[in-house]
Structure 1
């Protein structure tokens, strides 16, 4: 056996089981809030067009809402919706006191200014953590809502007692709602963070030094098993056709200490954090209203 290969296969980080526990706690909080205030938490989902994957994701989120005691209000817009029309829709939901959280399913279509749409969501209802205000709060450790997938990743790391202080973390991907914010959250835990991306020279060299790898680039099996440092923690946030992540799972399994499966790792935690933050938003809004 090669001295660089672990003698024990990696432990799987079970996002499905953790999401179930978080969901039970969220449902209990939602029920208590409804009992106390007479109002159930409400999440508005906005979908532009009929992309099959997006339709499926929204349906999953609405089903999870129902199980958690959260009212789901769905707004379906035609694919030809303009940026101005979408901004107006999101602005109206932001002003609606019966809506506590807003989710804009993305992508929204190349003809739409997605950033302008995100910024139309009021920060106190940004339960998906996509606005500039939310990113700033994440970066500076201020109260607010985290981006849901990065938030779910941090919950997984905590659940498996991963001590990040002083560790070298490599984030592969730099999207505004996954790569960049997860790096900020890791940095806040005293990890030393390196961002890598499509133009990074010698990606393998960076990966081989990483104690924690977060794959969030959207390219199937870009990260090879041989590039994983023995004993590293591998978080695969990629999801590609055929249930394939961004990491060569079989190759990484014999080298990593902990690894997320695809599916069943990061994905369930994304929805769990979304619902948890929706209930938190409802608590703040309803309690603030009662105090007036």
Structure 2
């Protein structure tokens, strides 16, 4: 009972020095310093009281002499640690919400509900920026660009593809990365539909030449026994080259450059046959209107 009364007296004296708990929150460093000094100054007074059993007295000295600072440190950690934890929880909540919005957008696009998809994507890109998730920003901009393209909003699609590419390049993605080339091809196609002949030709040329150089480098580096991953990348790159040639052939045919268009169609056909086999449904058959899927 005597020890309990002394403990209450110590707590009252300690709290009276701080004035209020809010003051502790505003001045955590001062509170920590004061708590240590208070515990030290009170430890002798507490242990000097007659408490039954020397073992209990020794135990109280150990706790009161060294535990006060630990308790205040734990309190400070819990106060500021909870703030960091709240931030992490909020970031995770936004990421989960963003993923759900992207899933809804893709489902809406699949169902042909393009207006709803656009709304979901605009919400998702805001969350992607708030969480500084560059991969999500790039992915969302790409979906928004494709959606704008199929809706015939070519100017918006152009801006969105450029925005996605700028984030990719700023993040260290090489210019000859297949994802960058694919977006460049879409830009070239947009320029072709906008009758921007010079930009379209430049875009198609950039895509085809970049991929051809990349394939030559792969051939030199890989040797005779490439790994499964290296072989998959080589095949993907070559099929992308075939797609670029096919797209350029369509553009050249539309501008009545028929000889050049025919050569591009033939090169695209050869690549597709070599990589996919002659019976693959995507093989281009140069009959009729040049394409037969």
Q: TM-score, normalised by structure 1?
A: 0.24
Structure that is richer in helix per residue: 2
Instruction: Give the strand-richer structure, 1 or 2.
Output: 1
Instruction: Say which one has the larger Rg.
Output: 2
Larger RCO, structure (CA 8 Å, separation 6 or more): 1
